[in-house]
Structure formats: structure tokens, C-alpha cells
Amino acid sequence: MSKVETILSQLKDIAANPKKAMDDFKAETGKGAVGVMPIYAPEEMIHATGFLPMGLWGAQGKTVSKARTYLPAFACSIMQQIMELQCEGAYDDLSAVLFSVPCDTLKCLSQKWKGTSPVIVFTHPQNRGLEAANQFLVTEYELVKEQLEHYLDVKITNAALENSIAIYNENRAVMREFVKVAADYPQVIDAVSRHAVFKARQFMLKEKHTALVKELIEEVKAMPVQPWDGKKVVVTGILLEPNELLDIFNEFKLAIVDDDLAQESRQIRVDVIDGEEGPLYRMAKAWQKMYGCSVATDTKKGRGKMLINKVAQTNADAVIVAMMKFCDPEEWDYPVMYREFEEKGIKNLMIEVDQEVSSFEQVKTRLQSFVEML
Amino acid sequence: MSLTQGMKAKQLLAYYQAKNDEDARKAKERGDLVCWSASVAPPEFCITMGIEMVYPETHAAGIGAKKGAMDMLDVAERKGYNIDCCSYGRVNMGYMECLKEAAMTGVKPEVLVNSPAADVPLPDLVITCNNICNTLLKWYENLAAELDIPCIVIDVPFNHTMPIPEYAKAYIADQFRNAIAQLEVICGKPFDWKKFKEVKDQTQRSVYHWNRIADMAQYKPSPLNGFDLFNYMALIVACRSKDYAEITFKAFADELEENLKAGVYAFKGAEKTRIQWEGIAVWPHLGHTFKTLKNLGSIMTGTAYPALWDLHYDADDESLHSMAEAYTRIYINTCLSNKVEVLMGIMEKGKIDGTIYHLNRSCKLMSFLNVETAEIIKERNGKPYVSFDGDQTDPRVYSPAQYETRVQALVEMMEANMAAAE
Ligand code: SF4
Ligand code: SF4
């Protein structure tokens, strides 16, 4: 196996076995893990406790049965899966769960955790331009911090927090670099591998992830850039899974040259800035700087323009909207983006992402005819 | 002599609803500003500035009740709106697209000509508030983008822990001041703080009489038919900062008090059971939901939804924290345990025997905690409940047969409970 293959296979293993990743971490460090509900949380704070932050992004192909009692069928697909996993006790090894509430579904879900772990809920302010919003969020973060300290029995010092912020900033920067590298080398980093690199970072300490991805980037960049005989796309949505779906991208030679997925690039879009202010304030500021996301209010509606810019920057052939089934924030963004794409003559296709399904024939047919049109 | 002299409350309701729309049309003709607003966003600032207000949720509900929703939903669907988006929002985006087309081409599109929709003008600005849902943030982002107009946001953070903390009130009050500054720029004139005080006082008088109406459901038998709250809601939403609401509600509350004294009750014949309605009304099928209950001897004497507009606050409080609190304490903007408390209070006051939960396809926030809420309440007060599938404006979701079966079952449970108690 080449070095590149070794690293990718390591990350793919972690992405595919989060439970094992957590158990290994526990065995190694004697510390536990803290769950992080989508989409945004001050993960740096968890990192500063020495516990492992674990992203909770549902599962694939699980039949929703127990969760049916508590959630009607029109709740978004990912939350159906998460509710099912809660009912099964899959999250009960977590020492706590951090829960933000930027959409109506998450507000409700934050009040009905079916597992045994304590849940720490906080609210992001949505009038994000105002300094008062930063102040509000600092207080929410202070309360999150107190609760983490209480449940995990650890003191979070400013020094530890600053160290974690630096580690996270570095990881985000490296991942932004990785996105560019993956776009230049689609022959080496295909859609499945690209996703695995992103997904693994949800289940690893970021410093370890950074080290691996840096090495990967170095190895890949040592190779010559080859011309790409397929098409290039930018993808947007909550997430684009599972591998069976990404395999279709590979089969039709659709290279993902940039993404705006909540699970992937939205996580690394903004850094916590340096400055004189305290760490919690600077972390709150990062939320103020966030853009292009359906749950971060933007009365200027910049997401479509952002995607159009991404298409221009990457020379992409099209945008693919990966629509999480029953996700109303994303569904509300769609008509405006769609109009903007059409006005600019940008080819686009919406496909549905449903974590409960295990057959992808329909998506395949749609992607196939779309590719033929490009 | 005024036009309204001698009008009964019901006539006043129709009169002022029409007049409010007319006010907006006239303002538009004069070149004055019109604002579209989320239903529980504070109107006090815009009214102080002399801006006329239009309420898309109420407007959409009216279209739904007059069986005109499908046409507007189709327009929205063609623009890419998924059926999963709240139907109030979809009806409104459909209506907005029709108006926009009319404004751009000078020709009213066919669907608009044939629509029973009340004639309201396009907005010059919009104001939204997420105290009832974050959907209203998304919907108003889109209005602002599609019409290229300013959007004022009042963000009231979800109260995951009660009581409401001071830092949340401070954040909201700061946004009030910011909204005022935005309006000063939009209107090109300074904010009139003296008038603001009058508008706040007016709002409080409207709220006072609104609460007097709801209070009448505490009597057994009840002089108030709870479904009337749904009918009168249009004014507490759209006109609470004008005297239209106050005049109408006072007249209605006075009528109800007289009826109570005279022994005239809402239910002709004896009311047998009293129910709580949890959720929004099913506007396209309002008559059916009501009559089914009536035929079984059941009257609705409690519902938290119209009580969202119990926006009492201290109008003299210059910090605006009291007003901030009023706008954020909405029960669906709070944690589950507070929601339970609020509903239990309503049940106690209305002497309720059981609850009907509207599982609303449009409204995630008012649906996804229903099971937990219902179970906790049943555990605590032993009152039975049922749930039915509906939607406040998309007529396709509701099934009359399912509703009838569920209500029948509820009535049987309530009657069995009462028999056991005797
Ligand atoms: S509705 Fe969308 S944003 Fe909200 S939890 Fe579901 S996937 Fe996430
Ligand atoms: S029906 Fe529900 S989702 Fe729609 S505007 Fe009202 S509260 Fe929001």
C-alpha cells in the first residue's frame, strides 16, 4: 500500500467505526467522550476538558421503528435516525451531549433526549450582526462551560481553551487546504475518500487528524497533477452520505471540487480569531462571522451567491443540492438559490438524501442523465 | 355619528378586518410604507412610525378558510417550495409571487384574479420574530431577498431554561433599540418616543380585553365558544396596536358578560364535556372540526394558541425588558416543562376534561413535542387525549373521517372518566 492509501484507509476505518474510535480513545486516555449534536457547537470547550468530542450525524439505512412513537414521519431524516439510536441506547456511553437549537426540529429534540446522558442545551443568537448577540452567546457559552465542568468533573482553564482553539484553527486551515488538494487530484482523492477525511474528524482528536491530513496533503502534492476527464461539481446541503451514494459520483466521474455541506466545509469555514478578548468572546464572534448556512440567519441571503462564486473559483460544471429529506431550513433556501443558479445559467440538480433508504437506483438514474447533459 | 355605532362584536370584527386591509392599500396608494410582519413580532415600532401592517399568517389563514389555498400553494411549488415548508409560508410566497408579477407586467395573473384572497399590497419592508418558530426567519429572509427590501429581525432565543434570564431580555431589548434605529433610516425621520408610549398603552388595552374574552371560558357552563377565539384572533394579530382590536374585543367581552348574567351560554342545550384544543386551527376545515365536537356535546374552553397574544407588559418600563419578556415567554419558545405548566394551567382554568392535539404537518415546533407533552399531562392530571393529523392551511392533510373517529374516542374516554368520578 502506498502512504496515501495507508492514511486514507486509516481515516476510512475511523469514519466507518465511530464506536471503536471512541472505545480506543477511552482505553488509551482513561477519559470519556462528549456527543455533539449537529450543526454547530463550541467543540473547543470539550476538547479543553480532555474528553473526545464525537459528532452525532445519524446512521445509514437503519429502519426507524422505536423512534416512530416520538417523532412523526415528517421529521428530517437525520433526526429520525438519531432518535432511533437514542432509543436503542447507542449514545449512553457519552458523558454528556451538547445540543444547539438553530432550527425548530432541534428545539423540540433538545427537550426529549431518550438516552441516559445529560444533555447541555444552548441557543445561538440569530440577529448576528449585533454586538448584543455576541454578549448573549458568551453567557450561553459560560453556562455550557459550567455544565461541562460539572458533568465531566474537570476545570476548563483559559490556557487549556486557548490551546484547543489553536488546535482547532489549525485543523480548519489544513482541511481548507485539503479541499483544494482534493479538487486538484480527483484521481487520488475520490468522492468516498474525500468524505472519509471529513467524517473522521468528527471522531478523532483534531491534533491527530491534522497530523494525518497534513501528511496526506504532502504525499498527494508530490504527485503530478493529471488532467481530469470527468466533470466537476460543487455540492451543498446538510450531508452527502453514504458511500453507496458517493460511489455513484465516482462511477460517473463527478469530482467534488468544493462543498458547502453542514457536515463538511461549513464546519471549517470560519476560525476563532486571535485578539485581546477572552476565549469565549472570540468563540462567540466566530458564530457572528459564519455565513452561507441555512441555520445562520442572513437577511441578505448570500448562500446562492457564495455557491456561484465557488463554481467560478473551481471551474465547476454544476452544483448538486443534496437535500436532506424533510429539512425545512434547507428547503427554504432552495427556491432562492435555484432562481439565482438559473439566472446565472449554472447547471444544477437536487437529489434527496434519506438516511433510511438503502437503494440508490433512482438517484443513480437522475445523476446519469444529469451528467450526460453537462 | 360613527359608522360603527350600534354594531355587535361580530360586525365590528368584519368591519375592522376589512378596514385594516384598506388602510394598507390606501397607504400604498399615497406612497406611504407598508410592512409585512410575523404574527407575534412587535408592531409597536412600525405603528409608531406610521407604517401600515399586513400579517401574512392571518392573510394565509383567510385564504385557507375561503378554500383558496391550493392555487397559491401551486404557485409556490412551481418556484421550488417543497411541500414540507410551512403552508402559511407557501401560501404567502405564492401570493407574493402573484403580486410581484402583477407589479412587473401590469397584468394580474389569472390565479390572483380568481383568488378569494383579501387584497393586500406588497411590502416596502418586513419584520420577523422567531418567538413562535425559526421558520419565520427563513420565510422572511426569502421575502426580503425576492423583493429586495429591508428585513428587521427580532431574535428571541429559545428559552431552554426557565425562568427567562436577564441576559436574554437585555439582548432582545437591544434589538428593539436597533429596530428603532433601522426604522429611523428607512423612514427618514426620528422616532417619536411620546407616540411610542401611546402605542404601547394601546397595545396593552387590546391585550387586556383579549384576555377578558378568553377568561369567560372559566365559567361552567361557558358563555364563550372557544372556537370564537380563532375567529377573533385576526384582530389581536393584525390590529393590537390600533384601537380596532380594543373596540371589538371590549364589545365582545361585554356581550359575553351580559350573556353570563342572563344565563345565555355558548352551547345550546347542555354542554357535556369540555376540551382543550392544542395547536393551530385547521382553517380549511374549521367548520367540520367544530361541528364534530358540537354534535358530541363537547365544547372547547381552553386553547393556548390564541393565548400567544397575551402580550402584557409594563408600558412604562423604559429599559424595554418587560416588553422583551412578553415577546419571548411564548410557551412554544420555552422548555418542555414550562410548556406543560402552561397547558395544565389552561386546563385547570377552563375546567377541561380532555385534550385534542393537532399534529400539524406544517408546524414542526407545534408537533414534535406533542407526545411528550400529552403523556406528562395525562400522568399528572389523568385527563385523556387524542391526536389527529392536520395542517393549518394545506387542505390535503386533514381527513374528516380520522378526526371524527379520534374525537369520538376522546369523548368516550372523557365520559367514562366522569362516570367513574360520580
Ligand atoms: S431540520 Fe435540517 S437543520 Fe434541522 S435538524 Fe433536521 S437536518 Fe438539521
Ligand atoms: S404554522 Fe408553525 S411553522 Fe408555520 S409560521 Fe406558524 S409557528 Fe411557524
* Probe target for ligand 2 pocket from B55, B230, B233, B366, with the most ligand atoms within 8 Å of CB: B366
B140 lines ligand 2 (CB under 6 A): no
Last residue of a domain, which of A93, A123, A154? A154
pLDDT of A229 > 90? The answer is: yes
Place of cell 504527485: A223
Query: By C-alpha distance, which of A78, A79, A84 is closest to A108?
Result: A79
pLDDT score recorded for residue B379: 98
CB contact under 8 A, B371 and A110: no
Q: Which tens digits make up the pLDDT trace of B229-239?
A: 999 999 999 99
Parts of chain B with a pLDDT under 70: 1
Whether B119 and B65 map to the same domain: the answer is yes
pLDDT score recorded for residue B246: 98
Q: Using an 8 Å Cβ cutoff, are A32 and A103 in contact?
A: no
Contact residues on chain B for A297, CB-CB shorter than 8 A: 137, 141, 153, 155
**Cα–ligand 2 centroid distance for B360 (angstroms):** 9
Sign of torsion, CA A218 A219 A222 A226? negative
Contact residues on chain A for B82, CB-CB shorter than 8 A: 323, 328, 331, 334
Ligand nearest to the CA of A294: 1
Whether B219 and B179 map to the same domain: the answer is no
pLDDT score recorded for residue B269: 83
Q: Distances from the Cα of A193 to the Cαs of A178, A186, A211, B249, B356, in angstroms?
A: 12, 10, 17, 65, 50
Cβ atoms within 10 Å of B269's Cβ, excluding its own? 8
Q: Which tens digits make up the pLDDT trace of A165-202?
A: 999 999 999 999 999 999 999 999 999 999 999 999 99
Q: What's the CATH code of the domain at A191?
A: 1.20.1270.370
| Chain A nearest CA to B182, separation (Å) | 12
Cβ atoms within 10 Å of B8's Cβ, excluding its own? 10
3 state DSSP class of B122: coil
Q: One-letter amino acid identity for B208?
A: Y
Whether B234 and B339 map to the same domain: the answer is yes
Mean pLDDT (whole number) for A355-369: 94
User: Could you tell me which chain B residue has the CA closest to the CA of A323?
Assistant: B82
Last residue of a domain, which of B139, B166, B192? B192
Contact residues on chain A for B169, CB-CB shorter than 8 A: none
For chain A, state the CA radius of gyration.
20
Grid cell, residue B81, equals 417550495
**Cα–ligand 2 centroid distance for A360 (angstroms):** 33
Atom of ligand 2 nearest to the CA of B132: 7
CB contact under 8 A, B137 and A126: yes
Q: Does B1 reside within a domain?
A: no
Which protein residue has the closest C-alpha to ligand 2 atom 2? B363
Q: How many domains does chain B have?
A: 2
Angle at B7 between CA B3 and CA B8, to 5 degrees: 160
Last residue of a domain, which of A227, A252, A279? A227
Q: Does B4 reside within a domain?
A: no
Whether B167 and B232 map to the same domain: the answer is no
pTM given for the model: 0.97
Whether A121 and A106 map to the same domain: the answer is yes
Interatomic CA distance for residues B347 and B300, integer angstroms: 11
For residue A169, give its domain range: 1-28+157-227
CB contact under 8 A, A301 and B80: no
A311 lines ligand 1 (CB under 6 A): no
Interatomic CA distance for residues A48 and A46, integer angstroms: 5
pLDDT score recorded for residue B1: 56
CB contact under 8 A, A335 and B167: no
Q: How many domains does chain A have?
A: 3
Q: Which tens digits make up the pLDDT trace of A273-291?
A: 999 999 999 999 999 999 9
Give residues with Cβ within 8 angstroms of A208, minimum separation 6. Answer: none
| Chain B nearest CA to A320, separation (Å) | 15
Which protein residue has the closest C-alpha to ligand 2 atom 4? B86
Interatomic CA distance for residues A347 and A317, integer angstroms: 7
Whether A110 and A51 map to the same domain: the answer is yes
Q: What is the DSSP letter of B164?
A: P
pLDDT score recorded for residue A351: 97
pLDDT of A22 > 90? The answer is: yes
Which residues are bridge partners to B354 per DSSP? B275
3 state DSSP class of A94: coil
Exposure on the CB side of residue B269, measured as CA atoms within 13 A: 8
Whether A342 and A312 map to the same domain: the answer is yes
A262 lines ligand 1 (CB under 6 A): no
Give residues with Cβ within 8 angstroms of B120, minimum separation 6. Answer: B21, B24, B25, B54, B59
| Chain A nearest CA to B360, separation (Å) | 10
Q: Distances from the Cα of B211 to the Cαs of B233, B270, B309, in angstroms?
A: 12, 25, 9
Cβ atoms within 10 Å of A26's Cβ, excluding its own? 15
Label residues B329-342 b or e (16+ Cβ within 10 Å = b).
bbbbbbbbebbbeb
Label residues A226-242 b or e (16+ Cβ within 10 Å = b).
eeeebbbbbbbbbbbbb
Grid cell, residue A297, equals 440567519
Atom of ligand 2 nearest to the CA of B365: 2
End-to-end CA distance of chain B: 56
Last residue of a domain, which of A107, A134, A154? A154
**Cα–ligand 2 centroid distance for B362 (angstroms):** 7
Give residues with Cβ within 8 angstroms of A159, minimum separation 6. Answer: none
Q: Distances from the Cα of A28 to the Cαs of A20, A22, A24, A55, in angstroms?
A: 12, 10, 6, 20
Whether A14 and A89 map to the same domain: the answer is no
Q: Which tens digits make up the pLDDT trace of A72-96?
A: 999 999 999 999 999 999 999 999 9
Query: By C-alpha distance, which of A42, A49, A47, A87 is closest to A67?
Result: A87
Q: Distances from the Cα of A136 to the Cαs of A221, B175, B178, in angstroms?
A: 44, 12, 15
* Probe target for ligand 2 pocket from B83, B87, B88, with the most ligand atoms within 8 Å of CB: B88
Contacts by residues A347-352 (CB-CB < 8 Å, ≥ 24 positions apart): A347/A317, A347/A318, A347/A319, A347/A373, A347/A374, A348/A318, A348/A319, A348/A320, A348/A321, A349/A318, A349/A319, A349/A320, A349/A321, A350/A320, A350/A321, A350/A323, A351/A320, A351/A321, A351/A322, A351/A323, A352/A323, A352/A325
B112 lines ligand 2 (CB under 6 A): no
CB contact under 8 A, B80 and A105: no
Q: Using an 8 Å Cβ cutoff, are B51 and B35 in contact?
A: yes
Residue of B134, B142, B155 with shortest CB distance to A336: B142
Q: Does B29 reside within a domain?
A: yes
* Parallel, antiparallel or unpaired: strands A96-100 and A119-122: parallel
Contact residues on chain A for B89, CB-CB shorter than 8 A: 332
What is the phi/psi pair of residue B238, to 5°?
A: -90, -25
Interatomic CA distance for residues A351 and A330, integer angstroms: 13
Whether A115 and A61 map to the same domain: the answer is yes
Whether B172 and B215 map to the same domain: the answer is no
| Chain A nearest CA to B212, separation (Å) | 31
Interatomic CA distance for residues A194 and A186, integer angstroms: 9
Q: Does B61 reside within a domain?
A: yes
B340 lines ligand 2 (CB under 6 A): no
Contact residues on chain A for B151, CB-CB shorter than 8 A: 299
3 state DSSP class of A363: helix
Atom of ligand 1 nearest to the CA of A39: 8
Place of cell 372518566: B417
Ligand nearest to the CA of A355: 1
A320 lines ligand 1 (CB under 6 A): no
For residue B179, give its domain range: 11-192
**Cα–ligand 2 centroid distance for A322 (angstroms):** 25
